[in-house]
């Protein structure tokens, strides 16, 4: 288990001024390098001495990773853009308020001033067994302590488990999926563009990672397509406290409505699986309907099919069912 100490371990700090310089450093140092964005996830790891990188690449001086720009076909947001900037940006608030709402639900104003969109999307899971240094599957061990018969697993997953039952902690991730965002990931060889729903991965793909990014990769921009601008949006996050806390369950939804009928839908939930979960079956079911109470109730039931709660988190099933139901009812 972690022992909290007064000082973080020594490392070499690099502060590149460009993306190319940052990528060169990541390529040179490989698995020994750690990318530092806002630092809110990183410093937790460092102070507990669970993660001991030899090299830290601080992106704070890379100007091209900051800012929100209008581009052909939508908005482009630099990965180092703070959550506060996203909340306050007039274009985001008017055209994509779903993302602004999600960003505004992150922790506290002080944390949003420092935290970045890229960092929030790419942060590691908050399972306390893993974060405390227990040798679980995700940490390279041979067991999942959170799924043991007497484990404390109130915040863990009800869907998508594969050895690991930890959940994705990001507030902005389901909103990015609902907006059909594109995640631009660069390395020294080439850039790659991922749909937001494919950017996040589960333990059945790689139990040591929560995203597609490997050593040497860098999330540089997030593109929000104009196709979902000014849609009907719904975001709700359930947590124990009104601020600071990570979600127990959250939902983000975007609806296109024509003549009182839902013509397009994208719905994602988080806090229930090791990755933010897009509800494609629910989307197909509600398209062509008016999103009335009967449809919303059926959608809620469909969303939780196959859920398998752990000892202490069966409450997440009705919570998820009702959040999906509320999202559908808001569509028209």
Q: Is 73 left (phi over 0), alpha (psi -120 to 50) or beta?
A: left
Question: Do residues 52 and 76 share a domain?
Answer: no
Establish if 262 belongs to a structural domain: yes
Q: Whole-angstrom Cα distance, residue 329 to residue 332?
A: 7
Q: CA–CA distance from 207 to each of 53, 151, 247 (Å)?
A: 20, 20, 21
pTM for the model: 0.97
Give 95-150 pLDDT, tens digit per residue.
999 999 999 999 999 999 999 999 999 999 999 999 999 999 999 999 999 999 99
Q: Which of 45, 62, 79 delimits the end of a domain?
A: 62
How many domains does the chain divide into? 2
Beta bridge partners of 222: 77, 183
Q: State the residue range of the domain holding 190.
A: 66-122+167-329
Residues 103 and 31 in one domain: no
What is residue 97's three-state secondary structure?
Answer: helix
94 pLDDT higher than 60: yes
**75 and 58 part of one domain:** no
Q: Could you tell me if 83 and 21 lie in one domain?
A: no
List, for residues 238-265, the tens digit of each pLDDT value.
999 988 899 999 999 999 999 999 999 9
The answer to whether residues 27 and 118 belong to one domain is: no
Say if residues 324 and 300 touch (Cβ distance below 8 Å): yes
pLDDT in the model for residue 3: 61
Determine phi and psi for 269, rounding to 5 degrees.
-125, 160
Does pLDDT of 1 surpass 80?
Answer: no
**Sheet bearing 182-186, strands edge to edge:** 68-71, 74-78, 218-225, 182-186, 191-195
pLDDT for 132 equals 93
């Amino acid at each position: 288990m972690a022992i909290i100490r007064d000082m973080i371990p020594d490392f070499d700090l690099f502060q590149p001024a460009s993306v190319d310089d940052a990528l060169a450093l990541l390529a040179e140092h490989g698995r020994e390098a750690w990318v530092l964005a806002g630092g809110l996830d990183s410093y937790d790891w460092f102070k507990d001495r669970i993660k001991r990188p030899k090299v830290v690449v601080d992106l704070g001086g890379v100007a091209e990773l900051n800012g929100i720009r209008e581009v052909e076909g939508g908005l482009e947001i630099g990965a180092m853009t703070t959550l506060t900037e996203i909340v306050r940006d007039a274009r985001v608030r008017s055209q994509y308020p779903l993302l602004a709402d999600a960003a505004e639900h992150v922790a506290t104003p002080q944390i949003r001033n420092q935290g970045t969109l890229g960092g929030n999307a790419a942060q590691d899971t908050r399972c306390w067994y893993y974060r405390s240094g227990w040798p679980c599957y995700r940490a390279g061990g041979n067991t999942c302590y959170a799924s043991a018969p007497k484990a404390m697993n109130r915040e863990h997953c009800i869907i998508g488990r594969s050895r690991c039952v930890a959940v994705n902690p990001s507030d902005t991730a389901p909103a990015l999926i609902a907006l059909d965002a594109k995640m631009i990931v660069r390395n020294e060889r080439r850039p790659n563009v991922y749909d937001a729903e494919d950017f996040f991965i589960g333990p059945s793909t790689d139990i040591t990672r929560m995203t597609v990014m490997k050593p040497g990769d860098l999330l540089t921009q997030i593109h929000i397509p104009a196709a979902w601008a000014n849609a009907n949006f719904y975001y709700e996050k359930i947590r124990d406290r009104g601020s600071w806390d990570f979600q127990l369950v959250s939902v983000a939804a975007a609806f296109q409505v024509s003549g009182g009928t839902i013509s397009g839908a994208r719905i994602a939930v988080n806090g229930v699986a090791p990755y933010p979960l897009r509800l494609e079956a629910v989307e197909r079911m509600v398209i062509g309907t008016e999103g009335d109470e009967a449809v919303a109730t059926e959608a809620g039931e469909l969303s939780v099919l196959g859920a398998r709660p752990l000892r202490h988190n069966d409450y997440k099933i009705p919570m998820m069912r009702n959040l999906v139901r509320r999202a559908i009812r808001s569509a028209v």
